[in-house]
Amino acid sequence: MDLKLTPVSMPASMRPAQATRSGGAAGADGVGGGFSTALKSALSSVSAAQNESTRLQQEVQMENPKVSLEETMVAIQKAQIGFTATLNVRNRMVQAYTDIMNMQV
């Protein structure tokens, strides 16, 4: 399996040097929102892959000659892998939250 990850770059307005210029902490979501931005981007790409696979499935069912079955199956597999990865990330985040909440102070 060849998994390619695209690097996430932070806009200049969200870099750590400028994120704390108001004198306070950076914020609850990390340094300038990098994690939340990356998470939103990943979720939207998984959603786009699922929408594309659904569209291709409908085209194959309507017997559109421009859409091949192979292309549709690859799109379905991409969407399934993305969903599984997202589900695993969610489960690990819930587990980490549970572990933190069970710590004694």
What pLDDT score does 24 carry? 43
Rounded to 5 degrees, φ, ψ at 9 are -110, 145
What pLDDT score does 4 carry? 61
Residue 2 belongs to some domain of the structure: no
HSE value, Cβ hemisphere, 13 Å, CA-based, for 90: 9
Count how many domains the chain has. Answer: 1
Q: Which domain holds residue 60?
A: 29-101
- Give the whole-angstrom CA distance, residue 39 versus residue 49: 15
Q: How confident is the model at residue 73 (pLDDT cuts 50, 70, 90)?
A: very high
What pLDDT score does 97 carry? 94
Residue 69 belongs to some domain of the structure: yes
Q: Is the pTM of this model over 0.85?
A: no
| Separate counts of helices (H) and strands (E) for the chain | 3, 0
Q: What is the DSSP letter of 12?
A: G
Give the residue with greater pLDDT, 4 vs 98: 98
What pLDDT score does 34 carry? 86
SS3 label, residue 3:
coil
